[in-house]
Amino acid sequence: MELINHFIEGLHEHLLPEELEELQKSHGASPEDLEELRRLYPDCPESLLSLLKNIDGTFWRQYGEEKIAVCILGSDVEDGRYPYYLLSTQQMIDSSKEEVDTSYLSEYEEDDVDSRINQDGLYPGTYIHFSDCMNNGGTSSLFIDFNPTDQGVSGQIVCFLHDPDEFKVIADSFDEYVQGLIDGGFVFLEEEE
């Protein structure tokens, strides 16, 4: 897929040499794992599958004798400068089995849950948790949401941000999300000065 090839080329250009060396230890997901993800989530974006065919996760992911931890994704947090890990196919499957409750937020502020997101939460089988932030997911996580409200779009990208807790849509699709990372110049990979 051209979009993912362009994204991976950009990663290679923007990662620090030691991060690129670590990333080069990765490999793509097995056909069986990809088929399981596709079976569980028939609407799984082809672009996510294509990315996983190349890189099966960077979140403390074991590849043979090596364990890697390389942030290769971003979001809108800190003006797009906050980096995220890509979960492996198995990590996505395992972490998407639990309900992600958003209903408690409606007790506090109306706008803590984007109106395009189901106010009751993200239910198992209706989302893919595909990324955790550089703080091991303690601060922020990213989801593909297949059960939006009438105002949303199936496949929209949801960002959860902790403290104060907030759920919001940051892209209408995984393709749009990846294109935004490219168009943003991989700013999430820039070293802090």
Residue numbers of the domain that contains 49: 2-188
* Residue 125, number of CB atoms within 10 A of its CB: 12
Buried b (16+ CB within 10 A) or exposed e, 174-183: bbebbbbbee
The pair phi, psi for residue 2, each rounded to 5°, is: -60, -40
* Residue 138, number of CB atoms within 10 A of its CB: 11
pLDDT at 55 over 90: yes
Q: Does residue 193 fall inside a structural domain? A: no
Q: Does residue 31 fall inside a structural domain? A: yes
Specify the number of domains making up the chain.
1
* Verdict on whether the full-model pTM lies above 0.85: yes
Q: What confidence score (pLDDT) does residue 87 get?
A: 96
Q: Does residue 77 fall inside a structural domain? A: yes
**Digit-coded pLDDT (tens) for 138-188:** 678 999 999 999 999 999 999 988 766 778 999 999 999 999 999 999 999
In CATH, what number is assigned to the domain containing residue 139?
A: 3.40.1580.10
